Amino acid sequence: MRTIALRIFGVCALSIVWTLLWGRFTVPNLVNGAVVAVAIMVLLPLPPVPVRGRLHLVPLLKLTGLFCWYLAASSAQLMWLAVRPGPPPLTGVLRVQLSIKSDLVLVLASSIITLIPGSMVLEIDQVRRILYCHVIDVGSAQSVERFHHQVAQVERLLLDAFERDSEWIPVGGNS
């Protein structure tokens, strides 16, 4: 049942992306999107990703709210950096150590960090659980600390939502 629900969700999501790419929400665009989505899922199947544990809604909602806040706040900070007088901000690559166990949640964390304006994940060290991130405005210790604080908050909420230690079962572990 879960597999069928995930496939239906995938078809719906791909159909919506198709419709958004065409720029107009019409029934033919939605139907064509569903046909393309089914073709993609049948002809180009992704390998199965082992997903274990439970989804916790409250931390997920907190994560969504925090992400929206960081999206708005970081956009305003970038806007100010673009129009302020003076030299451009100092940029750099920062290393972030994470304690996330699941590869799927690790990718989700890197996606969230990349979507926050002013930062972009350049590399994921899957074995050591390290992200290398390009960050705009690393000219002060306060800016660097703010970035590390953002990542720590995102990581904590992801762990609370997806990887609670009491529910964690390694891939290949006994159910």
User: Is 172 or 42 the better-scoring residue by pLDDT?
Assistant: 42
Q: What digits encode the pLDDT tens for the residues 20-56? A: 999 888 999 999 999 999 999 999 987 876 666 678 8
* Band (7; pLDDT cuts 50, 70, 90): confident
SS (H, E, C) the chain: CHHHHHHHHHHHHHHHHHHHHHCCCCHHHHHHHHHHHHHHHHHCCCCCCCCCCCCCHHHHHHHHHHHHHHHHHHHHHHHHHHHCCCCCCCEEEEEEECCCCCHHHHHHHHHHHHHCCCEEEEEEECCCCEEEEEEECCCCHHHHHHHHHHHHHHHHHHHHHHCCHHHCCCCCCCC
CB of 18 closer than 8 Å to CB of 36: yes
Question: Does the pLDDT value for residue 170 go beyond 90?
Answer: no
Range of lowest pLDDT (59-63, 64-68, 76-80, 107-111): 76-80
pLDDT at residue 36, rounded to an integer: 94
**Residues 58, 42: Cα–Cα separation, whole Å:** 34
pLDDT at residue 162, rounded to an integer: 87
Integer CA distances (angstroms), 134 to 22, 65, 73, 106, in order: 32, 24, 18, 17
Residue type, 97: Q
Nearest to 33 by CA among 45, 49, 16: 16
Model confidence, pTM: 0.72
pLDDT at residue 86, rounded to an integer: 87
Q: What digits encode the pLDDT tens for the residues 135-150? A: 998 989 999 999 999 9
pLDDT at residue 1, rounded to an integer: 73
pLDDT at residue 27, rounded to an integer: 92
Question: Does the pLDDT value for residue 174 go beyond 70?
Answer: no
pLDDT at residue 145, rounded to an integer: 95
The angle formed by the CA atoms of residues 102, 160 and 16, to the nearest 5 degrees, is: 70
Q: What digits encode the pLDDT tens for the residues 70-108? A: 999 988 988 888 898 988 889 999 999 999 988 888 999
How confident is the model over 153-163, as a mean pLDDT?
92
Nearest to 159 by CA among 121, 116, 105: 105
**Residues 99, 129: Cα–Cα separation, whole Å:** 7
